[in-house]
Structure 1
Amino acid sequence: MKIIIRLPNWLGDVVMSTAFIYATRQLYPGAIIDVIIKKELGGIASLIPGINNIHLFSKQDHKGLSGVYRFGKSLRTQHYDIFFNLPYSLSSFVMAWASNAKQRIGFNKEGGMFLLTQAFQKPANLHRVDEYVYLLEKLSGKTITNKQVKLIAAKPNLANNTVIVNFNSEASSRRMPLDKGRSIINTLIKNFKDTTFTFVGSQKEAAFVDELLAGIDTQMLQNMAGKTDLKGLAKLMAGSRAVLTTDSGPAHLGNALGTPTIVLFGAGNENNTAPYNKQGLEVIRYGELACEPCVRNSCKLYGIPKCMEMLDEIKIIKALSLHLNHA
């Protein structure tokens, strides 16, 4: 049996899809299980146990639907028995169709029913992890009870009280506003004297982190934004005491590595997209606005997301204090 899984397109979704990969391994213990993942996220795939081969897909190298088709066609020599398609996009369906896999399984979205051999209705109001596994349950007729969202990364030798901080997000409604971010940083410095707060982010987020930390002169802060790849970020998180993060991909990364993770929620709905593992997880939101959660990428009502500006810093300190030593 040869199985290939087209993984989702965003970091958090890829992490949440690890439960699908583990469940597939349970149902098909002797199978070869390969994955397709965006080239930019390829480093994460190497942290998921149970994968045999990783196929990197780049939109730059395979432009448009014709490029996607050529990529899918290149998989025909592998003679896959099952192609599981986790994204909902038309391009991913075209890729599955071009692969000539005997079974092509996915959700019935964006014309999927015409390009897949079996397309199931996407369930409503499920957590993303349960949604992915639902696809496998529908195909197999079996209930998956042991859902594991898990990554494995080597731990570096970090200072005993290091906290990884991510205030970034692709969506402005989930990104920490600058003034609120600086206020939280000053509160952290005041309450945790012997802690190093390491700020992280991608290269395109580095300018935001630079602006966030400008004028705050303390040896307690370390700026690693734009200086690590995803594997490096995972290594930093695996060796830290805790992760303090906005609702974003790094929240799922820290949680899947088993690091205590405190997630600051604004526009997102934690019932659907919060990190899945409950142990060591703390979700904090303001929760007093009628518009929460709006699930929008930008704040249409206030401009700067008020749900983030009003976060209770005392709650953040209390959550972190469970994992840190007070000075």
Structure 2
Amino acid sequence: MKILIRLPNWLGDVVMSTAFIAAVKQLYPDALVDVIIKKELSGIAALIPGLNKIHPFSKQEYSGLGGVYRFGKSLRGEQYDLFFTLPDSISSAMMGWATGAKKRIGFGKEGGFFLLTKVCKKPVNIHRVEEYLALLEQFTGKKIDNPQVKLNAEISNPNSKRVLINLNSEAESRRMPVVKGIDLINKLTNDFPDVTFAFIGSPKDAEYVEQFVKAADKPSQFENYAGKTDLAGLANLMAESKVLLTTDSGPAHLANSVGTPTVVLFGAGNEENTAPYNKNNSTVIRAGKLECEPCVRNTCKLYGIPKCMELLDELQIINAVSLYLKHA
């Protein structure tokens, strides 16, 4: 049997989808499992256990529904038996239809239901990992027990005493305000004078991160990896670090998937849906002082800046980081 899975389009969601892939491998142990992944995220697919082929998809190369159809049709020779789409868009359903897969399973939003052979009911108010698994459970009629989010990573320096910091987020409402962030990092270096702190981020985050680097009271304690690692390299860096202090973002899930403890700062996002899934080494911190929390908006309409992030308790954050450093 050959199975094709259309993965989500965001880093955190791709990481969370690894539990779905593992469940597919569990239910179909003899199947070859291939994935379609956004080209910019294809580096992370190599870290997902158990994959046969990785098909990078570029919206620039295959634009519009016509491009989606052409891409899907290019995979027709693979002769897939099953196609699962985790995004619930019509374009993803179109892609599956174009592959000629015998059975095509998805949630069928945006009218894509007529391109699928099995339309599943999308559950609400559950974690994203469990939402994906519901697709497989509804199709097979089998319950998935003990799901786990996992990526493979290499550890070249197991004795590293490094704390990673990610104050960025794609959504402005989940990003740390600069003044608040500067105060936090300076308190961290005062409390942990023997620890190396390292900023991470994508190339487009580099300018934002540089503001913290320039404002650090003790710049010698900081390294800056923003825009300097690919996704696989970032996963490896995380795997050998003691803890990641992060906003609600893709890197939080990436670190969680390779076993690195995470302290996750929540503002607009809803931790019930998108907190790192492996809870044994993850701490979620929320101020919880505003009636609008969580609003799940990408920008703050009430205050202009994400006040829910500004109100986070710095002592609580430092204590959480300290706990993981003591247990490391």
Instruction: Give the TM-score normalised by structure 2.
Output: 0.97
Task: Tell me by how many angstroms 1:88 deviates.
Answer: 1.4
Instruction: Specify every segment of 5 or more residues in structure 1 that has no aligned partner in the other structure, as ranges.
Output: none
Q: SS at the partner of 2:5?
A: strand
1:51 is matched with which residue? Answer: 51
Equivalent residue letter for 2:244: V
Task: Tell me by how many angstroms 1:159 deviates.
Answer: 5.8
Equivalent residue letter for 1:287: G
Aligned-pair identity in percent equals: 64
Equivalent residue letter for 1:40: E
Query: Against the structure 1 CA distance between its residues 49 and 114, is the aligned structure 2 distance closer, same or farther, given a 3 Å change threshold?
Result: same
1:218-257 equivalent positions in 2, closer than 5 A: 218-257=219-258
2:189 is matched with which residue? Answer: 189
Distance 2:83 2:162 in 1: 41
Superposed structure 1 runs of 4+ greater than 6 Å apart:
none
RMSD across aligned positions (CA): 1.1
Equivalent residue letter for 2:307: K
Task: Tell me by how many angstroms 1:128 deviates.
Answer: 0.3
Task: Tell me by how many angstroms 1:281 deviates.
Answer: 0.4
Distance 1:215 1:152 in 2: 35
1:41 is matched with which residue? Answer: 41
2:119 is matched with which residue? Answer: 119
Structure 1 contact 112–119 (Cα < 8 Å) conserved: no
Task: Tell me by how many angstroms 1:156 deviates.
Answer: 2.6
Q: SS at the partner of 2:325?
A: coil
Structure 2 contact 213–219 (Cα < 8 Å) conserved: no
Instruction: Specify every segment of 5 or more residues in structure 2 that has no aligned partner in the other structure, as ranges.
Output: none
Q: SS at the partner of 2:105?
A: strand
Structure 1 contact 137–143 (Cα < 8 Å) conserved: yes
1:135 is matched with which residue? Answer: 135
Structure 2 contact 289–311 (Cα < 8 Å) conserved: no
Instruction: Give the TM-score normalised by structure 1.
Output: 0.98
Q: SS at the partner of 1:96?
A: helix
Task: Tell me by how many angstroms 1:209 deviates.
Answer: 0.4
Distance 2:126 2:108 in 1: 16
Distance 1:71 1:113 in 2: 20
Distance 1:28 1:196 in 2: 44
Distance 1:136 1:5 in 2: 11
Equivalent residue letter for 1:234: A
Q: SS at the partner of 1:182?
A: helix
2:296 is matched with which residue? Answer: 295
Cα offsets for 1:28-74 (capped at 9, x unmatched): 00000000001110111111111111000011111111111000001
Q: SS at the partner of 2:173?
A: coil
1:278 is matched with which residue? Answer: 279
Query: Are 2:145 and 1:145 equivalent residues in the alignment?
Result: yes
Distance 2:127 2:179 in 1: 32
Task: Tell me by how many angstroms 1:220 deviates.
Answer: 0.6
Distance 2:43 2:148 in 1: 19
Q: SS at the partner of 1:316?
A: helix
Structure 2 contact 89–108 (Cα < 8 Å) conserved: no
Structure 1 contact 199–225 (Cα < 8 Å) conserved: yes
1:144-223 equivalent positions in 2, closer than 5 A: 144-157=144-157, 160-216=160-216, 217-223=218-224
Structure 2 contact 290–308 (Cα < 8 Å) conserved: yes
Task: Tell me by how many angstroms 1:146 deviates.
Answer: 2.3
Distance 2:192 2:161 in 1: 9
Task: Tell me by how many angstroms 1:121 deviates.
Answer: 1.6
Point out the structure with the larger helix share: 2
Equivalent residue letter for 1:306: K
How many residues were matched structurally? 326
Task: Tell me by how many angstroms 1:81 deviates.
Answer: 0.2
Q: SS at the partner of 1:314?
A: helix
